[in-house]
Amino acid sequence: MTWYAAHAIMYVKFKDGNQDKYPIWENAILIEASSSDEAWEKAKIRAKEDEDDGENPRGESLWEGRPFIFVFAGIRKIVSCVDEENRPTDGTEIAYSQMELPDLDSLSKFLKEEEVFLRYDC
């Protein structure tokens, strides 16, 4: 069995139907499987568990004051863990994302969570 990091995309869907933006998350989920295809299928099942219909014991979930549901959009990628044959431990790299910025100034802004143009490679 091999360890994989599955990158699941989740998004906010507003219940009122007026969708002028799409808040998204890319969640890295650790999956143990015998192949990347099996990891992909296991990741889809696991990520769907994070879907939320917006109902909870404290009342309806709100995003910026609007009722919403949290939806699984799909798996973006499956990545073999760096030390794929050994059980991950503290400090094990389990996932990575490759990106490209146009200059060092943009890198500085990116680290400060300021707005930048970013090319996101798979």
Domain map of the chain by residue range? 1-81, 94-122
Q: What is the mean pLDDT of the chain?
A: 86
Residue with tokens 């400090």: 91
HSE (side-chain half, CA atoms, 13 Å) at 92: 16
- Tell me the pTM: 0.77
- Please, what is the end-to-end C-alpha distance for the chain in angstroms? 24
- Please provide residue 43's backbone torsions phi and psi, each rounded to the nearest 5 degrees: -65, -40
Q: Higher-confidence residue: 21 or 40?
A: 40
For 37-71, what is each residue's pLDDT tens digit? 999 999 999 999 999 876 776 677 888 888 898 89
